[in-house]
Chain A
């Protein structure tokens, strides 16, 4: 996995609560068997005026200019600022893949849906939880200042404004560690193979019906 230490970038808004994963990447694009290429269809239904189909040339599609991220001032944004319960709904990992492919590295919100939050961590995309008040404040700054940028330092768990303001955020120690080191989670778990095997032997003697039933 790609490591995440520190990132500085332009902030873009997704100013609504409860953005679900189908809004992030609509279901028709889930038929791909690949992990990449979802960025052009990020927020597809909001971003374009026509109906999106897999495999289209998106550069010629009519854009919805009322959609904030289409405004030139947010072009190249790599930090997404949004509202509570971001990523709710379906468990599709295509959502963080699409955000990542579009170029986002950090998402800041007052809360995230559990599965989505997890899925971000597995892809080196950093979900940052700040309070409702802090997020509100950042939205104001974002709308007020053209080219509003933030820095996010994972080693210190801080979001830093150019003006010097600092917001602390919490992230589990193990998630932070994986991200900072860019660890291969499967590889790490497999280092405990012997423990897993011992567990299986014990369990098979206690609950034998679990094993060998499906063949």
Chain B
């Protein structure tokens, strides 16, 4: 019999019941809740007279539509100026209070974007199943978890039963070996993967990211990669556990201590795919071929090396591809064949669950240091992913670097990743963004998103247009 993949192992160890009809009940170890996708689930529980199955697997925090503006935050929930956002955040507080669910409230240490907060507090740990009513839950897979997004009906189901009705996915392995080039970051790696396999390339699959490139990558970098599995169509992205994973978890707030720690560690070390495991699909990429990436279109697969050009319509094969390219270019206000680095930038957003951890802040600060935001750039938002990231960044003086460069240093939250709060793009504005989605209107109606790494976004902020960050880094070295 062939060995098991990491996904197979996680599936098997959480299997509560296989039903005759082919569905399975999978046990859920961690359920993270936020203000947007939970109210109807709590209401459903209440209407059916049900209670949460247990409390110690749930944790909540508001992130999506809270303000990142310090003054607005200081006045607490009642000070949230948008009345609908205020009701939603208040509803989360009330529901957590009513049902007894642990919540890190808006201004509490611990609060943050769900996928930044979970790992940094040791809420999520290797070998767990993690779900959240948010599609970027695969982020936690970087720790060797089986983690994915769920809908609101499933949020209610998990609250009530601690289980998820699931169907086994297929195994896809993306192997990248080799050393990343100078100035090439985990964000570039994942954008290059999506560019290669497409936004539906991982449909129905759990993607395991394997190879020496990931082995040498930091845990935060691995989170950036797993985070965007959904942009490749896969609900699940995950990576093997190694010493780095274990070192990362050690000492975190909710991580085990003493003898239990040793017991956990022994188990976690088994969380790798067996050498004879069979994958349904395999993709291989050479790390050396990956350059800093920039998305030019309205889907994450519409991405190119920064040195590249926007594609030509005549080079598309099917009429559907031609039409979709034409539509994307019209929305983005770009010409076919245009040089990517000629695109001017109006706003910059450094943040989101993809790139708002301390390493991302440091990378952006490295470029911002001693430089100034270009005059033509209207705004540069630097938004730490959590209260803990903010505290750490401030302790390192990074916020001063950003402020000196004419950038804004904000309070933790999703911010301009999705425009559910005051941080938005205006129609027609181009944004260098470290977030994960460039769909039409994602960052504001008519807004034009260019996805890239924190260093690349900071470089765009100081030069006023998209630029290969390696040029700046080379200057630095000279």
Contacts and interface: CB of A to CB of B under 8 A. Distances in A.
Interface string A83-102: 11100111111001000000
B56 A115 contact: no
Contact of B163 (A91, A175, A189, A206): A189
A213 B249 CA distance: 14
Interface string B321-362: 000100100000000000000000000000000000000000
Interface in B259-303: 260-261, 263-264, 267, 299
Interface stretch (B33-41, B451-459, B462-470): B33-41
A17 B88 CA distance: 32
Interface string A191-215: 0100110011001001111111111
A211 B256 CA distance: 10
Q: How large is the interface on A (under 10, 10 to 19, 20 to 34, 35 or more residues)?
A: 35 or more
Nearest to A31: B84
Interface stretch (A20-28, A72-80, A141-149, A150-158): A20-28
Nearest to A198: B16
Contact of A213 (B50, B87, B203, B254): B254
Interface in B118-161: 122-123, 125, 127-128, 133-135, 148-154, 156-157, 160-161
A204 B150 CA distance: 25
B165 A185 contact: yes
A209 B256 CA distance: 6
Contacts of B264: 207, 209
B210 interface: no
A203 B167 CA distance: 21
A173 interface: yes
Contacts of B248: none
A85 B17 contact: no
A118 interface: yes
Contacts of B23: 172, 174-175
A186 B157 contact: yes
B58 to A, nearest CB: 7
Nearest to B95: A33
Contacts of A175: 23
A119 B154 CA distance: 8
A1 to B, nearest CB: 9
Kindly name the residue among A119, A195, A213, A215 whose own CB sees the greatest number of chain B CB atoms within 10 A.
A213
Contact of A35 (B40, B58, B199, B419): B40
Nearest to B257: A209
Contacts of B261: 209
Contacts of A207: 127, 264, 267
A189 B161 contact: yes
B256 A213 contact: yes
B157 A196 contact: no
Nearest to B100: A215
Kindly name the residue among A55, A190, A209 whose own CB sees the greatest number of chain B CB atoms within 10 A.
A209
A213 to B, nearest CB: 5
A41 interface: no
Contacts of A85: 199-200, 203, 233
B48 A186 contact: yes
Given A91-B134, A214-B102, A196 B153 contact: no
Interface stretch (B218-226, B237-245, B400-408, B439-447): B439-447
Contacts of B93: none
Interface of B: 16-17, 19, 21-23, 25, 27, 29, 36-37, 39-40, 43, 48, 50, 53, 55-59, 65, 82, 84-85, 87-88, 91, 102, 122-123, 125, 127-128, 133-135, 148-154, 156-157, 160-163, 165, 167, 199-200, 203-204, 233, 235, 254-256, 260-261, 263-264, 267, 299, 320, 324, 327, 418-420, 437, 439-442, 445
22 contacts: A22-B440, A31-B88, A45-B441, A89-B437, A89-B439, A90-B418, A91-B149, A93-B37, A93-B40, A96-B151, A115-B151, A172-B167, A173-B21, A173-B22, A175-B23, A208-B263, A209-B125, A209-B256, A209-B261, A210-B128, A213-B256, A215-B55
Pairs A-B, 8 closest by C-beta atoms = A174-B21, A122-B153, A209-B256, A33-B39, A31-B84, A119-B151, A174-B23, A93-B152
